[in-house]
Amino acid sequence: MSSLSKTLGSSPALARALPFLIFVTLTAAQGWLGESFRYWIYLSKTVVGAWLIWVVWPFVSEMKWKLGWESVVAGIAVFAVWVGIDPFYPKIGSGGKDWNPNIHFGETSVTALIFIGVRILGSTIIVPPLEEVFYRSFLYRSVAKADFQSVPLGQFAWAPFLATSAVFGFTHREWLAGILCGFAYQGLVCWKKRLGDAMTAHAITNLLLGVWVVWKGAWHFW
């Protein structure tokens, strides 16, 4: 077992928080080295994210995908809300330059298609486990009690429910949609008493949003 695996295996908090924090750091680094590097860093962080999930999988028992009609409905509903309310409230920051490989590499470029595919794959398969474990399993329960593992995964309490959803929301440019999204995913965890439904709902939302971005040219969502 590697030293990282040993460290994560011995610390339930690190196993749930460190992969997300590494992923977020790489996300922040996307704009540091210029336009071209933002796409390559996204590719790199997707690979790193997949590796991190593989490393922590044995130590995070709740990181298990679950599919049910509730997760499908929630995922579709959050997507509809995310897109539907977008014109009606101010966003955080200017948003910067849209993440659009078609402009940088050319619409007929194989490279552009690869990066679009990586973005959809990464947001659908890699992002949900990392974010749901951090927010819904670790942060929510840590707000409820310092000894977060003593808090049942599906236990409802207003303070962590509101706080976690607010933090989740304000890490997105589309803060209002993010908060409502947090309500939906956390509500699923509290209802179903497991994390997998929220992971699936998150994946469905991100998949639909990715398809919408490409279909409608709504690159500002990325």
Residues 6+ apart with CB under 8 A from 44: 26
Which residues, other chains included, contact 15 with Cβ-Cβ below 8 Å and sequence gap of 6+? 8, 9, 56, 59, 60
Q: What is the DSSP letter of 90?
A: P
- pTM over 0.85, yes/no: yes
What letter does residue 174 receive in the DSSP assignment? S
What CA–CA distance (Å, rounded) separates 156 from 140?
10
Res 99: pLDDT: 87
pLDDT tens per residue across all 222 residues of the chain: 578 788 888 899 999 999 999 999 998 887 777 777 889 999 999 999 999 999 999 999 999 999 999 999 999 999 999 999 999 999 998 656 788 999 889 988 999 999 999 999 999 999 999 999 999 999 999 999 999 999 999 999 999 999 999 999 999 999 999 999 999 999 999 999 999 999 999 999 999 999 999 999 999 999
